[in-house]
Structure 1
Amino acid sequence: MQHRIVVLGAGYTGAIAAGRLARRLYREDVAITLVNAEPDFVERVRMHQLATGQDLEPRPLAEMFAGTGVALKQAKVTGIDVDRRTVTVTDVNGPDGPEHEPGHEPEHELEYDTLVYALGSGWNDQGVPGTTEHAHEIASRPGALRLRERLARLDAGQPVVVVGAGLTGVEAVTEIAEARPDLDVALAARAGLGDWLSPKGTRHLRKVFGRLGITVHEHAAVTGVEADRLVTADGTSIPAAVTVWTTGFAVHPIAAATALEVTGTGRIVVDGTMRSVSHPDVYAVGDAALAMGPGDKPLRMSCASGTPAAWQAADAIAARLTGGKLPSMPIRYFNQCISLGRREGLIQYVTADDRAVRAALTGRFAALYKELICKGAAWGVAHPVFLPSRRRHVVRDQDRAASTVTSPA
Structure 2
Amino acid sequence: MNENTEVVVIGGGYAGVMAANRLTQRADVTVTLVNPRPDFVHRIRLHQLVGGTDGAVVDYRDVLAAGVRLVVDTVTRIDAAGRGLELASGGTLGYDYLVYAVGSGSADPSVPGAAEYAYPIGTFEEARRLRPVLDAAPATAPVTVVGAGPTGIETAAELAEAGRAVTLVCGGVLGPYLHPRGRRSVARRLARLGVTVLDGPDSKVTAVTPDAVRLGGGRELPSTVTIWTAGFGVPDLAVRSGLSTDALGRLLTDETLTSIDDDRVFAAGDSAAPSGLPLRMSCQAAMPMGARAADTVLSLIGGERPETLNQSFAAQCISLGRGDGIFQFAKRSDVAVWFNIDGRLGAKLKETVCQGVVKHLADEAAKPGGYRLHRVGGGPARRQQLERAGRSETPAPAGRGA
TM-score w.r.t. structure 1 length? 0.85
Partner of residue 61, structure 1? 60
Distance in 2 between residues matched to 1:335 and 1:66, nearest whole Å: 29
Q: Give the letter for the 1:56 counterpart.
A: G
Alignment match of 2:83 (pick from 85, 110, 115): 85
Distance in 2 between residues matched to 1:302 and 1:257, nearest whole Å: 25
Does 1:138 find its partner at 2:118? no
Does 1:281 find its partner at 2:264? yes
Does 1:369 find its partner at 2:368? no
Structure 1 range deviating more: 10-19 or 375-384: 375-384
Contact in 2 for aligned 1:274/1:285 (Cα 8 Å): yes
Residues 72-118 of structure 1 deviation map (CA, whole Å, 9 limit, x = unaligned) = 11111111111211111134xxxxxxxxxxxxxxx021111100011
Partner of residue 31, structure 1? 30
Q: Give the letter for the 1:39 counterpart.
A: P
Partner of residue 186, structure 1? 167
CA RMSD, Structure 1 to Structure 2 (Å): 1.8
Partner of residue 71, structure 1? 69
By how many angstroms is 1:66 displaced? 5.5
By how many angstroms is 1:282 displaced? 0.5
Residues 299-331 of structure 1 deviation map (CA, whole Å, 9 limit, x = unaligned) = 121111111111111111111111345334610
Q: Give the letter for the 1:174 counterpart.
A: A
Distance in 1 between residues matched to 2:251 and 2:241, nearest whole Å: 10
Residues 310-367 of structure 1 deviation map (CA, whole Å, 9 limit, x = unaligned) = 1111111111111345334610211111111111111111122221111111111111
Does 1:261 find its partner at 2:244? yes
Distance in 1 between residues matched to 2:152 and 2:57, nearest whole Å: 25
Partner of residue 97, structure 2? 114
Contact in 2 for aligned 1:62/1:72 (Cα 8 Å): no
Unaligned runs of 5+ in 2: 371-402
The 1:314–1:132 alpha-carbon spacing in structure 2 relative to 1, beyond 3 Å, is: same
Structure 1 range deviating more: 38-47 or 302-311: 302-311
Partner of residue 19, structure 1? 21
Structure 1 range deviating more: 185-194 or 44-53: 185-194
Does 1:214 find its partner at 2:195? yes
Partner of residue 396, structure 1? none
Distance in 2 between residues matched to 1:272 and 1:52, nearest whole Å: 39
By how many angstroms is 1:245 displaced? 0.5
The 1:329–1:253 alpha-carbon spacing in structure 2 relative to 1, beyond 3 Å, is: closer
By how many angstroms is 1:383 displaced? 4.2
Q: Give the letter for the 2:343 counterpart.
A: G
Distance in 2 between residues matched to 1:337 and 1:57, nearest whole Å: 17
Alignment match of 1:171 (pick from 154, 168, 191): 154
Distance in 2 between residues matched to 1:226 and 1:184, nearest whole Å: 18
**1:147-158 mapped onto 2 (5 Å cutoff):** 147-158=130-141
Helix, strand or coil at the partner of 1:20: helix
By how many angstroms is 1:230 displaced? 0.9
The 1:136–1:327 alpha-carbon spacing in structure 2 relative to 1, beyond 3 Å, is: same
Helix, strand or coil at the partner of 1:4: strand
Residues 233-257 of structure 1 deviation map (CA, whole Å, 9 limit, x = unaligned) = 2322111100110112110011111
Contact in 2 for aligned 1:125/1:247 (Cα 8 Å): no
Alignment match of 1:233 (pick from 205, 216, 240): 216
The 1:289–1:228 alpha-carbon spacing in structure 2 relative to 1, beyond 3 Å, is: same
By how many angstroms is 1:269 displaced? 0.8
Distance in 2 between residues matched to 1:378 and 1:230, nearest whole Å: 37
TM-score w.r.t. structure 2 length? 0.87
Give the paired residue count. 366
Q: Give the letter for the 2:238 counterpart.
A: A
By how many angstroms is 1:389 displaced? 4.6
Distance in 1 between residues matched to 2:56 and 2:198, nearest whole Å: 35
Helix, strand or coil at the partner of 1:149: helix
- Among all aligned residue pairs of Structure 1 and Structure 2, give the percentage whose two residues are the same amino acid: 39
Helix, strand or coil at the partner of 1:208: helix
Partner of residue 322, structure 2? 342
Does 1:304 find its partner at 2:284? yes
**1:3-14 mapped onto 2 (5 Å cutoff):** 3-14=5-16
Helix, strand or coil at the partner of 1:72: strand
